[in-house]
Each structure stands twice: as C-alpha cells, then as structure tokens.
Amino acid sequence: MSAVDLSGTIALVAVGLLTVNLLFGLLLSVGYNPVRQWPRRRFKLFKFHNWTGYIALTAAALHAAILLFSSSPRFRVMDVLLPFWSPAQPKSNTLGAIALYLVAVVVITSYYRSALGRHRWKTIHYTTYAAAAVFFVHGAIADPALEGRAVDFLDGEKLYVEACAVVVAVVTAWRIHHRRARRRAERLLKQS
C-alpha cells in the first residue's frame, strides 16, 4: 500500500469519526439521555463525543502527515501545512487544511471550555459546522490517487463522504426544527 493509499484510507476513517462526533454532539445539544431513552442503558455520550473528536482530529492530521512519505507526488512540510502550492490538487488540499485547522480550534477550545466560559466556548464550537462542510467538500472533490482526474461523484469513496454529509445535514435540520419547536412550546407556556 502506497503512502497516498494509506492517507486516503485514514481520511475515510476521519470522515466517519467526524460524522459520528457531530451526531453525538447534536444528541447532546437536545438533552438526549440514553438511560431514559433508547438504549435505556448507561452510556457516557459526552465522553464518547470528546474521544471521537480527539481521535478524528488525530486521524485527519495523520492523513495529511502521511503525504510527506509519498514519492509521487512529493510533498514537503510546507505543502502539507500551507498547501496553496502543493504538487497535487492545491485547491482541494487547501480546503482540507482549512478544515483540519477548524477542527483543531474546536477540539483545543473544548479542552479549555471551563476557562473560556460556556457562551464563548459555544460560539467557537459552532465552527464545527463550517469544518464539516469544508471536510465534506474536500472529500468529495479530492482525487484519492492524486492524479488530477475528474471528480466521479458515484465512486464508492465519494458516495461514503456524500452519505456522511447528507446524514449530518438531515440531523442538523432535525436539530434546528427541534430547537424551534421547543422554543415555541416554552413561549406558549409563558403566555398561558
């Protein structure tokens, strides 16, 4: 397996972990309780949310770092950190780097959540949605072989990334609807 193939495989793992992490976060945001609701067992959702975030960030960073071991095309450290002029797919790689940096900001600030205060931390935490959007676009347009081929949106890897994006979009829309319905119910209760 070449460095490029290994990097692509780790990228798919990172996309899955980021998707699961976002879903856990959305469940936490609506007050989901696995003891009272399905699966009616103790399940430390917050802990899983944190750990999937740490592991996803590590996988995404590893995905980029492995490219340094590619012989064709040859990537330098600067090509990975600031891929504006990388030897292959500079636009797609730049999107990937931006997404990685956004996820890093979210994970690092989550570690310092108490010091930042809930309101400031929550505002920063919404960056997750921007990071997800950029990650999904990067995953959908990048050529996994780094050969500059045209995008095949029906390729298995692309369908996986697209499915993750659709799941996150649908659950996010459900979350927004849930929040609005709850606020409406609270207003009606206050008016009564």
Q: Name the amino acid, one letter, at 46.
A: F
Distance (Å) of CA 30 to CA 25, 152, 181: 9, 36, 12
Give me the mean pLDDT over the 62-89 stretch: 94
C-beta separation of 131 from 99 below 8 A: yes
pLDDT at 148: 84
Phi and psi, residue 33, nearest 5°: -125, 110
Look up the pTM and report it. Answer: 0.90
Instruction: Give the integer Cα–Cα distance in Å for 51 and 144.
Output: 27
Instruction: Evaluate whether 79 touches 87 at the Cβ level (below 8 Å).
Output: yes
The pLDDT of residue 137: 97
Angle at 89 between CA 59 and CA 75, to 5 degrees: 65
Cα 147 to Cα 4: distance, rounded to the nearest angstrom: 11
- The mean-pLDDT minimum among 28-32, 46-50, 154-158, 168-172 falls in 28-32
Burial class from Cβ neighbours inside 10 Å (0-12, 13-18, 19+) for residue 158 reads middle
- Residue pair 93/101 in contact by the 8 Å Cβ criterion: no
| Cβ–Cβ under 8 Å, residues 110 and 125 | yes
Q: Encode pLDDT of 13-62 as tens digits.
A: 999 999 999 999 999 988 888 888 878 888 889 999 999 999 999 999 99
